[in-house]
Amino acid sequence: MSFTAFIAACLGKAVDEDKSVQAYRKGRNQLVLFQDVDISIMPTVNSSMQGKICMVTGANSGIGKATALALAQMGATVVMVCRDRARGEEAKSEITTKSRNNAVDLLQADLSSQQSIRQLVENFQHHYTHLHVLINNAGAAFPGRRETVDGLEMTFAVNYLAPFLLTNLLLDVLKASAPARIVNVSSAAHKSGYIQLDESWLLCCSPMSWHADSRERE
């Protein structure tokens, strides 16, 4: 989904596709992640999101960062969810400066850990009573088979199980904040995926197969 599609989904209206911001994918630190885009080229968005609270996962780089900036520029209160606090603080500072909006918050969470996700929701609910937009953006593909602290395959856990759990834990507050929206970010990798739910496949499939198949499920 393109950046403009994210904003259109959040606003419920069309956004000029010619002004979209493109993110590119590239390997970094043995992860396949969306890298930083030049968010200084983003157009100023005139639509107002004043009074709206928006959570964006994976908000320190790429599409997540561009989305967080656009929402901040529209006046929303933006809750950035990042795994690395230092990179998150750097992105938060940049977004605050460029949007001139101080209502930008940072919550740290490791989305590969179910306990960390539950702690994230607890921290959010400690500070906020409403949530109007949840953008499940964070995702990655890991080389070689890796398991999470919960004993789950890492790529599938981060791309599929994490947003599923996070959304369900926040569902009551989203309903209470209606009208509210949930935006799930996927990738073109789903085109090569297929669903095969036997146990042997869970144990032996490759990380990129998990990446494709987990995105297919979205």
**Region 175-191 average pLDDT:** 87
Say yes or no to pLDDT of 210 above 80: no
Does residue 140 contact residue 215 with C-beta atoms inside 8 Å?
A: no
Say yes or no to pLDDT of 115 above 50: yes
pLDDT confidence of residue 36: 41
pLDDT confidence of residue 206: 52
User: CA 106, CA 89: separation in Å to the nearest integer?
Assistant: 7
Question: 25-64 pLDDT, tens per residue?
Answer: 333 333 333 334 444 444 455 578 999 999 999 999 999 9
Q: Which residue has the tokens 């259109």?
A: 8
Q: Which domains does the chain have, with CATH numbers?
A: 3-8+21-188 (3.40.50.720)
Extract the tokens encoding 58. Answer: 């994976």
User: CA 164, CA 78: separation in Å to the nearest integer?
Assistant: 21
pLDDT band per the 50, 70, 90 thresholds, residue 112: very high
pLDDT confidence of residue 150: 93
pLDDT confidence of residue 140: 85
Mean pLDDT rounded to a whole number for the chain: 78
Extract the tokens encoding 49. Answer: 């999101």
Q: Among the ranges 44-58, 104-118, 132-146, 192-206, which has the highest mean pLDDT value?
A: 104-118
User: CA 68, CA 56: separation in Å to the nearest integer?
Assistant: 7
pTM for the model stands at 0.72
